[in-house]
Amino acid sequence: FRYRVAVLGATGLVGRTMIQVLEERNFPVDELVPLASQRSASQIVRFKGREFITAVPSGDIFRNVDIALFSAGASASREWAHVAAAAGAIVIDNSSAFRMEPGIPLVVPEVNPEAIFKADGTPESIIANPNCSTIQMVVVLKPLYDRYGVKRVVVSTYQSVTGKGKAGRDALESELAGEVQEQFTHFHQIAFNAVPQIDTFTENGYTKEEMKMVNETRKIMGDEALAVSPTTVRIPVYGGHGESLNIELENEFDIDELRALLASSPGIILQDDPSARIYPMPLTSYERDEVFAGRIRRDFWNPKTLNMWIVADNLRKGAATNAVQIAEVIAARQEKA
Ligand code: 2RA
């Protein structure tokens, strides 16, 4: 099988990373259809040594598309996802538009790949890609959940400016260059700072980013009793999101056995040797597809509880790679069918 793959938002940071990952992972692309809004139309994207001009989306275009990767914001997804699905495309949407929609699966391939498919074994027509900070956390929670049960996670994030796309990255660069800002992309100056606000506040004192970590995690893990207590913070780094996790398990654990379990779990690379100063860092996760785990240690105040530190490239495993991996699961199933 080879696929005609559209990328909506092809000129954005995630869209460009999607195209890069499709090429790197050699996804069987028969034809690439890069799409962008009117504002970004007619820009050049490169794929497998060829240049493509971005087009503006239309119903007709999606008639000749098998898989459509979306990353152009929630309003563009709301406008085009059902049009593309009705035209026969399978939509993998990185925006927040449908993540909590009942009947639309929210998928991390290492955690709940079966949610991609209907009872008859065919793929759902719209599949939601979770928020970056949620994805890296559930990749690590999944093996612990299956083996020990997970009751509660207290998570503090240290999120890259690239979570806000090109604008987020450019904001840091211009502040570091000493340029005066008309208004701050990250609500305040981000250079030499940490801003404990990502997205807007909801009425309960938590931000939308924090509520995504609560609600999306429960949907992906299929457990509405799983307690997630989040604080999300923006910091001036490029390479990826860091997360400090305090995880309360249902059952007792042996720390070496738990470490070995993580090391042998899909999508996880252990970097955990404090004596050698080996632990995950954004600089070492940059442009990688895995979730890096380290600083694994027992919480000496609470039984059945551990602390750990994880890092993942939020543009890759946090967005583009996860979406392409969902497409890979679909392609693998069709090969077998
Ligand atoms: C952020 N997770 O980091 C959000 C959206 N990518 O800004």
- Using the 8-state DSSP alphabet, how is residue 317 labeled? I
In short, whether 132's Cβ falls inside 6 Å of ligand 1 is: yes
Query: pTM, whole model, 2 decimals?
Result: 0.97
Residue positions forming the annotated binding site for NADP(+): 11-14, 39-40, 314
pLDDT along the chain (337 residues), means of 10: 97 97 98 90 92 94 97 97 98 98 98 98 98 98 98 98 96 96 95 98 98 98 98 96 98 98 98 98 96 98 96 98 98 91
Determine the distance separating the centroid of ligand 1 and the alpha carbon of 254, expressed in angstroms. 34
Nearest CA to ligand 1 atom 6: 163
CA distance 17 to 35: 14
* Rg of the chain (C-alpha set): 20
In short, whether 94's Cβ falls inside 6 Å of ligand 1 is: no
Side chain identity, residue 305: T
Terminal Cα distance for the chain, rounded? 11
For 284-288, which contacts have Cβ atoms below 8 Å and span 24 or more sequence positions?
A: 284/239, 284/311, 285/239, 285/240, 285/311, 285/312, 285/313, 286/238, 286/239, 286/240, 286/313, 287/313, 287/316, 288/312, 288/313, 288/316, 288/317
Q: How many CA atoms lie within 13 A of 59 on its CB side?
A: 4
Per-residue confidence (pLDDT) for residue 144, from 0 to 100? 99
Determine the distance separating the centroid of ligand 1 and the alpha carbon of 102, expressed in angstroms. 22
Of all atoms in ligand 1, which is nearest to the CA of residue 160? 3
CA distance 215 to 107: 13
Per-residue confidence (pLDDT) for residue 42, from 0 to 100? 85
Determine the distance separating the centroid of ligand 1 and the alpha carbon of 162, expressed in angstroms. 8
In short, whether 95's Cβ falls inside 6 Å of ligand 1 is: no
Nearest CA to ligand 1 atom 3: 163
Nearest CA to ligand 1 atom 4: 163
Per-residue confidence (pLDDT) for residue 337, from 0 to 100? 80
Verify whether residue 188 is a known catalytic residue: no
CA distance 165 to 55: 21
In short, whether 29's Cβ falls inside 6 Å of ligand 1 is: no
In short, whether 159's Cβ falls inside 6 Å of ligand 1 is: yes
Answer yes or no: are the C-beta atoms of 305 and 283 closer than 8 Å.
no
Determine the distance separating the centroid of ligand 1 and the alpha carbon of 97, expressed in angstroms. 14
In short, whether 296's Cβ falls inside 6 Å of ligand 1 is: no
The DSSP line for 64-107 is T-SEEEE-S-HHHHHHHHHHHHHTTPEEEE-SSTTTT-TTS-B-
Per-residue confidence (pLDDT) for residue 126, from 0 to 100? 98
By C-alpha distance, which of 79, 84, 119 is closest to 103?
A: 119
Residues constituting the chain: 337
